[in-house]
A and B are shown apart, each in its own frame.
Chain A
Amino acid sequence: MASVSWRHALFFLLVVNLSVLTTACSSHYGNAIEEFCLAKFKLDMEVLDQRQWCSWEDTVESYGELTNCTFLVALKMNCFWPNRMVDEFFIRVHRHYFHDCSMSGRLLHDPPNQILGPFIVVPILVTLLMTALVVWRSKRSEGII
């Protein structure tokens, strides 16, 4: 609920401040998204622990809101979305918050070698044991079974 009222406040501010600028897109767009959208995103990310910044599950909501905010500001300012200023804005955001996240990120990847190793070696050993067992039992099968 707090984020909804936040958003309403933002829009009100926008409408009041930008009612004068009804003409085409200008460099004020860059300032506008810095002021209105990035501030909220910064607050959200500060709430999270820095180690969680690379976790998609924790950051997807705030990131989505940031994107949406830039889109709405663009609409209000008669700017085409996406545009070069939005791109540069996001590059700065990524450079600050996501610069050391792993490349694969959300992709599926193998478990680390400490887990993968036993998963592979144990079946091989069990196979060899089982083979030895069968050889031994068939050797002694004359009277026993």
Chain B
Amino acid sequence: MAIVGHALSIVSLLISLAIFFYFRSLCCQRITLHKNLFCSYVLNSAFTIINLITVVNNPKVVQRNPIGCKVLHFFHMYMLGCNYFWMLCEGIYLHTLIVVAVFAEEQHLHWYYLLGWGFPLVPASIHAVARKKYFDDNCWMSVDTHLLYVVHGPIMAALLVNLFFLLNIVRVLVTKLRDTHRAESNMYMKAVRATLILVPLLGIQFVIFPWRPENRLAGEIYDYIMHILMNYQGLLVATIFCFFNGEVQGTLKRQWMQYKAQWGQRRREHCSMRSTSYTATSITEVPAFMYHHDCNSEHSNGKQTEDSELVALKTGETYA
């Protein structure tokens, strides 16, 4: 079942990455951080699936205890760290942008790359060394050891620091900038909102993990929620950061309208070559992107014109 969750996550994340790479107009520093975050989620889900299929479901491999399964576990821990540290990078970026430098763009991203890709090697290596020396069970599969906190401790610290930064941002946006920079304040509030929703969602599984309720019904609900929180994280991240993003939606709508118009135009050309009663004047009256699909009816749909204008206005507005 976990495999299904992670597979869905990978698919949705790859779609989001494709959207981000294809539409150059969406490109900016924050989107670059999103791309790195999605990459780390894809890799994490991939490693989890590989781990589940080859090691966890395979008692013969665990019995044999090859060194490869410990290496796989090490990379799994590294990828887990990368996920949460990239979320931290997003939070630090927003914090620097809004609170510290006040909307000055173009930060240097080298330190973010270091924190996101390089630093998680440290807890993963320390965990590997400690595990090898003190709790060297087969394939390092056991979760009964406190040595797992060597990796989970920094992750929780990163989540707490992230939450602190985001709350600070909200405080600054609400109190200080509301009067002076209203328009930007609104825009950045939308940007922060997405991250602020995600951080507790990602972190809450660590908080409620030890407290499984005794009641049977509540226990089942707990299991389902934990299952969703742990295995569908990639899907959640892709949905909140990409599919629910106003700018992405606007860009996709515009692209769709363009395709519709081009397709309509091609059909129009086909129809005009075939039908003899069609007059030239009706082509010039109707705006280029408003050709109706059906060649027979030539009513210019005033309603459609209105909708397209509204869409064109909205795309510039929201940023979240």
Contact = CB atoms under 8 A, between A and B. Distances in A.
Given A110-B134, A116-B146, A135 B96 contact: yes
B126 A145 contact: no
Interface in A42-79: none
A124 B157 CA distance: 7
B142 A108 contact: yes
A111 interface: yes
B110 A145 contact: yes
Contacts of A111: 130, 134-135, 147
Interface stretch (B13-21, B148-156, B250-258, B283-291): B148-156
A123 B121 CA distance: 11
Given A115-B134, A134-B112, A142 B158 contact: no
B257 to A, nearest CB: 39
Contacts of A130: 115, 119
Contacts of B111: 133-134, 137-138, 141
A15 interface: no
A85 to B, nearest CB: 37
A95 interface: no
Nearest to A136: B111
Contacts of B161: 128, 131
B135 A138 contact: no
B145 A123 contact: no
A39 B118 CA distance: 63
Interface stretch (B43-51, B99-107, B262-270, B305-313): B99-107
A134 B92 contact: yes
A119 B147 contact: yes
B81 to A, nearest CB: 9
Contacts of B158: 127, 131
Contacts of B95: 135
A110 to B, nearest CB: 5
- Mostly, the B contact residues are helix
Interface string B116-137: 0001001100100010001111
B150 A123 contact: yes
Contacts of B112: 134, 138
Interface in B50-92: 88-89, 92
A123 B100 contact: no
B134 A123 contact: no
A123 B123 contact: yes
B157 A127 contact: yes
Interface in A2-43: none
Interface residues of B, number: 37
Contacts of A108: 135-137, 142, 145
A120 B146 contact: yes
B48 to A, nearest CB: 22
B115 A134 contact: yes
B108 interface: yes
User: Which of A108, A115, A119, A139 has most B Cβ within 10 Å?
Assistant: A119
A110 B133 CA distance: 10
Contacts of B104: 142
A122 interface: yes
Contact of B92 (A109, A124, A138, A142): A138
A57 B126 CA distance: 29
Given A126-B122, A138-B112, A131 B146 contact: no
Contacts of B137: 108
B157 A119 contact: no
B147 A123 contact: no
B114 interface: yes
Contact of B146 (A110, A133, A142): A110
Given A123-B123, A135-B96, 5 more contacts: A119-B150, A120-B149, A126-B122, A131-B161, A138-B111
12 contacts: A108-B145, A116-B146, A123-B153, A127-B157, A130-B119, A131-B158, A131-B161, A134-B111, A138-B96, A138-B100, A138-B108, A138-B111
Which 7 pairs across A and B sit closest by C-beta, in order of nearness?
Answer: A127-B154, A111-B134, A141-B108, A123-B123, A134-B111, A138-B96, A124-B153
